[in-house]
Amino acid sequence: MAVSNSKEKTTNRESHASQQPVGFSNSGFVQDNGLSSSVPALDRTIPSVIQVSPMAMDEGQAAERQTWGNPVEFLMSCIAMSVGLGNIWRFPYIAYKNGGGAFLIPYLIVLLVIGKPLYFLEMAVGQFSSYGSVKVWEMVPILKGVGYGQALATWFVVTFYCVLIAISLFYFFASFQTVLPWTVCDLNWASFSTCYNSNANSNLTDFNTTGFKSSSDIYFNDEVMKKVSSIDDGIGSPDWKLSLCLLLAWIIICAILMKGVESSGKVAYFTALFPYVVLITLLIRGVTLEGASDGILYFIKPDWPKLLDVNTWYAAVGQCFFSLSVGFGPIIMFSSYNSFRQNIYRDAMIISFMDTATSFLGGVTIFAILGNLAHESGKNVTEVVTASTGLAFVSYPDAIAKFQYVPQLFSVLFFVMLLTLGVGSAVSLTGCVVTIICDDFPHWKRWIVVTVVGVIGFFSGLVYVTPGGLIIMDIVGTLGGDFIIYLMVVVQTVGICWIYGLERFIRDIEFMLGIKLSAYWKLTWAYIIPLVLIFIFSYAMATYTPLREGDYVYPSAATGFGWFLAALALLQLPLWAVYVVYKQEGFTVMERIKKSLKPTKDWGPRNPAHRLEWHKTQNPHYVDSYASRIWVPILPRFFPRLFHQD
């Protein structure tokens, strides 16, 4: 962000702005001599905004925020964030549960009309303001609760995400044994009498496996997780081995975050690229196994009736959000460390493509392995599929056990891959929480914030390394993650497009990137995303059934805990809205609400030169936001006492 050339740039920008009409003729929105209700802008007192806001014009403070070493670090960090464990253990299982190949159709559609547009929107908001996911709501202060609600959802997810890293560490250390412990049945196992070996030479096509389990299945569920079939009597105590692995996982994450993007950007090269080397190796090995074609065909063969099931679309949206990390806040956080002119339009296209391609690659690989497992055990593919975490810690280890040469080496590589995938995503999720705290309390030392977050995260994660931990993980992931993010994304898009103003937001992006945006972005942001999400979410809630695993329905106390987490996050919306309105200056409630709907004086580009250019492109004819001009005048009709003016 060079300031030395700001005079020349400002002159060129002024010349460009003087020739450019207020509204874009190809926008698809009605323009009325600069008075379109879809284009809210700043207050008339633009000069006072420049003078009054010390944060915006304090060049020293603007320079305090870190930036990426180069644009590639940002790209690698986003890939490491988006391409995570969800592509390996979650996507294949979600696809299996929702019709196999049929799921690919709604997933691609959701990616096109929801995932990719949201990814670009969040990138644009973060880069334009250089703020984290809470401070960006200086654009619409009354919606500040969106940022805090997303932060809570992010925290809920990262607490169990780190447990998956801990399990990967456990398997990583176990991979150095002479005989991989999950490949053979151990005499000391309680389930030894019902166990069959998962080694490479097993041929069970003539063996009746009814009532039997593979050694890899027993090792994961009974020996590692010590899983119980019911938590009606409690979840049990944390396993000390997994607890140590969880501690190590948090130490790794905190060490990477200590210096911010200065250190995490360098680590991202490895966490983003190394997993592809191992995954492609496993794919090549997987497709050469007997029965692999049956598994792959099952994966790509569509079950057309599933397309008419709204729950399939609900699952597609949830997977898209979880995989891309859309709606959680890390995208905004990472983009806030960009230079102001970074080409995020290109980056958003690359990242969304890489994430989707990796999901398909992981799906083909896992189902090739499942096809081989079905062939070895004489079962159908549907009979060998385990729960989502089991795909990574049962099916993949089975495949590694079938390698003829040095399976320990491939096992180490595989679990290092899982570690890098998990760490890449966990660093971004945890970093989002750290950035929010550092933005709100800039005088706090970063290393203290990171340490405190890590300690709390470790103790929060202990609940997942208990015998009932996998059940709690499912509840928190569903109610504390997907459920919250659905609603937060709806409010986020409505706030940006219908309160801040779609045309104003479009002009901000075009000013920042110097490109014209097509009607595709306007249509998806303003209409498709909120309407589709509201419909799918409403239907899913109307047809809601209690969470379960197989025939076991989770106890009401456990699901009640999940609903409590969801309520805690959603309550951030009204609580912060009331607080922001209360803090506004004004004699009446309506005046305070009106001010709460308009951007604060701190909103805009952080760099003084860019901020000055930006102000010159604003249209002084627009006085208020769309919401303050249309919705606020309506409120007194319904609440006359509340809005009575003396």
Long-range Cβ pairs for the range 383-386 (8 Å, 24+): 385/93, 385/96, 386/217
- CA–centroid distance for 359 within its chain: 15
Neighbour tally for 637: CB within 10 Å: 8
513 in a domain, yes or no? yes
Asked if residue 460 lies in contact with residue 165, where contact means CB atoms within 8 angstroms, the answer is no
The SS3 of residue 602 is coil
Identify the H or E element spanning 553: strand 552-553
Write down the pLDDT at residue 468.
Answer: 92
Name the phi and psi angles at 631, rounded to 5: -85, -40
Neighbour tally for 19: CB within 10 Å: 7
Write down the pLDDT at residue 304.
Answer: 80
416: tokens are: 């290092």
Do 96 and 15 belong together in one domain?
no
Write down the pLDDT at residue 64.
Answer: 64
User: CB neighbours of 501 closer than 8 A, spacing ≥ 6?
Assistant: 38, 39, 40, 41, 625, 626
Asked if residue 625 lies in contact with residue 597, where contact means CB atoms within 8 angstroms, the answer is yes
Residues in the chain: 646
Residue 203 annotated as binding?
no
Residue 596 annotated as binding?
no
Alpha helices in 441-528 (DSSP H): 446-461, 469-477, 483-494, 502-513, 519-523
Do 142 and 36 belong together in one domain?
no
463 in a domain, yes or no? yes
In whole angstroms, give the CA distance from residue 383 to residue 368: 14
Residue 323 annotated as binding?
yes
What Cα–Cα distance (Å) separates residue 454 from each residue in 17, 457, 462? 48, 5, 13
Write down the pLDDT at residue 576.
Answer: 96
112 in a domain, yes or no? yes
pTM for the structure as a whole: 0.82
Do 266 and 304 belong together in one domain?
yes
Asked if residue 87 lies in contact with residue 299, where contact means CB atoms within 8 angstroms, the answer is no
Do 74 and 54 belong together in one domain?
no
Write down the pLDDT at residue 586.
Answer: 74
Do 50 and 92 belong together in one domain?
no
How would DSSP label each residue in 339-361? -TT--HHHHHHHHHHHHHHHHHH
Which amino acid is present at 331?
I
Output DSSP code: residue 113.
Answer: I
Select from 570, 601, 619 the last residue of a domain: 570
Residue 549 pairs in a beta bridge with 552
Do 553 and 645 belong together in one domain?
no
216 in a domain, yes or no? no
437 in a domain, yes or no? yes
Q: Based on the structure, what is the number of domains in the chain?
A: 2
Write down the pLDDT at residue 260.
Answer: 81
Angle between helix 261-287 and helix 292-300 axes, rounded to 10 deg: 120
Alpha helices in 103-202 (DSSP H): 104-110, 116-129, 144-174
Do 59 and 97 belong together in one domain?
no
Output DSSP code: residue 588.
Answer: S
Do 305 and 375 belong together in one domain?
yes
In whole angstroms, give the CA distance from residue 400 to residue 182: 10
Q: Which residue has the tokens 């909103």?
A: 603
Do 22 and 89 belong together in one domain?
no
Select from 514, 545, 570 the last residue of a domain: 570
Select from 543, 570, 597 the last residue of a domain: 570
Residue 477 pairs in a beta bridge with none
295 in a domain, yes or no? yes
Do 42 and 147 belong together in one domain?
no
Classify residue 236 as left (phi > 0), alpha (psi -120 to 50) or beta.
Answer: left
Asked if residue 87 lies in contact with residue 355, where contact means CB atoms within 8 angstroms, the answer is yes
Q: Which residue has the tokens 């898209």?
A: 320
Give CA angle at 572 (570, 577), nearest 5°.
Answer: 120
201 in a domain, yes or no? no
In whole angstroms, give the CA distance from residue 415 to residue 85: 11
Residue 83 annotated as binding?
yes
Residue 531 annotated as binding?
no
Write down the pLDDT at residue 23.
Answer: 36
Write down the pLDDT at residue 427.
Answer: 92
Which amino acid is present at 68?
W
Which amino acid is present at 284?
I
Residue 195 pairs in a beta bridge with 213
Nearest to 201 by CA among 390, 403, 391: 403
Alpha helices in 394-445 (DSSP H): 396-401, 407-440
The SS3 of residue 195 is strand
CATH of the domain at 441: 1.20.1740
Asked if residue 18 lies in contact with residue 623, where contact means CB atoms within 8 angstroms, the answer is no
* Residues of the chain under the 70 pLDDT cut: 1-64, 198-211, 377, 386-388, 403, 619-646
Do 400 and 451 belong together in one domain?
yes
In whole angstroms, give the CA distance from residue 307 to residue 596: 42
620: tokens are: 């002084």
Q: Which residue has the tokens 């493509």?
A: 353
In whole angstroms, give the CA distance from residue 321 to residue 533: 12
194 in a domain, yes or no? no
In whole angstroms, give the CA distance from residue 254 to residue 454: 6
Nearest to 420 by CA among 358, 357, 348: 358
Do 133 and 162 belong together in one domain?
yes
Question: What range defines the domain where residue 376 resides?
Answer: 70-178+230-570
CA atoms within 13 A on the CB side of 110: 25
